Amino acid sequence: MTTSMNDSALPPPLPVSKPGFSPRCSLLGAVLAVAVIAACVVFVVRTHASHRKGEGAGEHPNRMLELMARYVVGVKELMRATQQPDGGLMEVVAQDITKYSLTDEDALRLMILKGWLKGAWPAEDALDAVAAKNAGLRADVETLRQMKAGHGEAPAEAWKKLRQRHGWLAELARAQTGDDKAKQTVAEQGLQTAAVLFAVSLLGMLAAVAGLGVLIWGIVRWQGGKLRLTLALRSRGEGGVLLEGFAIYLALFLLVPWLLRQMFTSLPYGAAYGPALVVLVIGMMWPRVRGMQRAEWREALGLHRGQGWWREMGVGILVWLASLPLLVVGMIAASWIIKVTGEFPSHPIVDVFAGSGWAKFAAILLAVVWAPVSEEIMFRGLLFPGLSAWLRSLLGALLGAFVFAAVHPQSWAGVPAIMALACSFSFLRLWRRSLIAPMTAHALNNGIMCVVMLILWS
């Protein structure tokens, strides 16, 4: 498989626009499309924020906090096993984690974690304060007291509710009040999590170093004229039509699930993706409805093989590797956002991987197949060239990357890293013209994250 960055054999850029395609009201359509896109972004951001902080936010485990707790428990166990004095490290860690307490439920969970780290059960007055502040936690506090009195045992129904609401932190509380076998079980789970995160961090650092080398190599070849960006800028009229298609897609993609939730009290996981396929087709076909010819439509959206499937896929892998240094920069920026906002990146799909059953398989298909195909068609096929027609490529890539990041549910802390990935996908579109390379990079990134999630929650 050839993945060289020497693309001297690429055909010259296409004309800016094909004579004969002159859509009506392109300026008005572009303005309305931008207004719809902006409104959708505001709606998504506000909805995600309300879901994170609104009513019912504590009814289910906080998976990111749970993952952090497992890691900290693993580190403590590793230090104990190697007879390393913590020098007050666990006390500092316990205090540092407090800033991630977003709800009263999180406060109770952190109380359990700190109790484990200090080797002491939470103080009774602290438990009383939590129960007095939040009536919904009174039953949980009572169950914890029953577990302490019963050496880890509690009524089956009460334990079930505690486990559903607090996840692994409930297991940690039961282990602290139980026998040595229970303590050893959660300690081993923590060690496994810490080992996986250590390994992922090490491999990620090595991959980022390799990616930095690829990035420098690519920049040198670009400056030497051996790497050329061949995606033709569309005319403003065409760009307006592409923006219209994306705006229609995004509005319907948000509206259809909302309507389904109004019509049905409960829906199975992924039920909205059937209608979403129809919405995707509508957005894709909008330029054709507006009069764009088939050949020009395929070129405008990148729906062609480029220089062949294998070559395009190889280049996608190479550029994904080169994007890792930018991803690291995005993560550093995310750490500052976390300090300011107190919110850390999270995604609803983590809850699926923390569960069991066929939902995990569906989540993998969603992340590795559906998302790369549908999102690349919409964001790099319609939005990016549509914005670039009016703003040119750099601003089009940055603004498109921001929209892409903002509509994902990871909170503001996840925006820098997602924007870094989105910009690399846009670069692939500029370079290769075809969507195969950005789809490959997108699928590879999501696939690796899915593998990590499967290992962490196994």
**pLDDT in 10s for each residue of the chain, 458 residues:** 444 444 444 444 444 444 446 677 778 889 999 999 999 999 998 888 777 665 455 567 888 888 888 988 998 888 888 877 766 666 666 666 776 667 888 889 998 998 888 888 888 898 999 889 888 899 999 999 999 888 888 899 999 999 989 999 999 999 998 888 888 999 999 999 999 999 999 999 999 999 999 999 999 999 998 888 889 889 999 999 999 999 999 999 998 887 877 777 666 655 667 788 999 999 999 999 999 999 999 999 999 999 999 999 999 999 999 999 999 999 899 888 877 776 777 777 888 888 777 788 888 999 999 999 999 999 999 999 999 999 988 999 999 999 999 999 888 888 999 999 999 999 999 999 999 999 999 999 999 999 999 998 87
Residues 258 and 390 in one domain: yes
The CA–CA distances, whole Å, from 239 to 23, 150, 301, 410 equal 10, 68, 11, 29
Please indicate, yes or no, whether residues 255 and 154 belong to a single structural domain of this protein: no
Residues 140 and 232 in one domain: no
In this prediction, residue 220 carries a pLDDT of 94
Domain membership of residue 49 (yes or no) is no
Tokens of 130: 């939590």
pLDDT given at position 405: 95
Q: 400 and 452 share a domain?
A: yes
Note whether 245 and 332 are same-domain residues.
Answer: yes
Residue 330 maps to a domain: yes
Is 20 a member of any domain? no
Among 188, 203, 219, residue at a domain's last position: 188
List C-alpha distances in Å: 46 to 39, 40, 95: 11, 10, 30
Identify whether 212 is part of a domain.
no
In a domain, 96, yes or no: yes
- Quick one: 107 and 171 in the same domain? yes
Among 171, 188, 205, residue at a domain's last position: 188
Are 315 and 379 in a shared domain? yes
Name the domain count of the chain: 2
Q: Which domain holds residue 384?
A: 228-456
Residues 6+ apart with CB under 8 A from 297: 287, 288, 303
3-state secondary structure of 224: coil
Instruction: Say if residue 173 is in the same domain as residue 262.
Output: no
pTM above 0.75, yes or no: yes
Q: Are residues 173 and 254 in the same domain?
A: no
Q: Is residue 254 located within the same domain as residue 387? A: yes
- 382, 273: one domain: yes
Cα(17)–Cα(123) distance, rounded to whole angstroms? 72
Is 271 a domain residue? yes
Helices (H) and strands (E) in the chain, counts: 20, 0
pLDDT of residue 15: 42
How many angstroms separate the Cα of 328 from the Cα of each of 85, 200, 286, 376, 439?
Answer: 31, 13, 37, 22, 21
**Is residue 171 situated within a structural domain?**
yes
Given this model, what pLDDT does residue 60 score?
79
Residues 417 and 328 in one domain: yes
Query: Is residue 202 in some structural domain?
Result: no
Last residue of a domain, which of 172, 188, 204?
Answer: 188
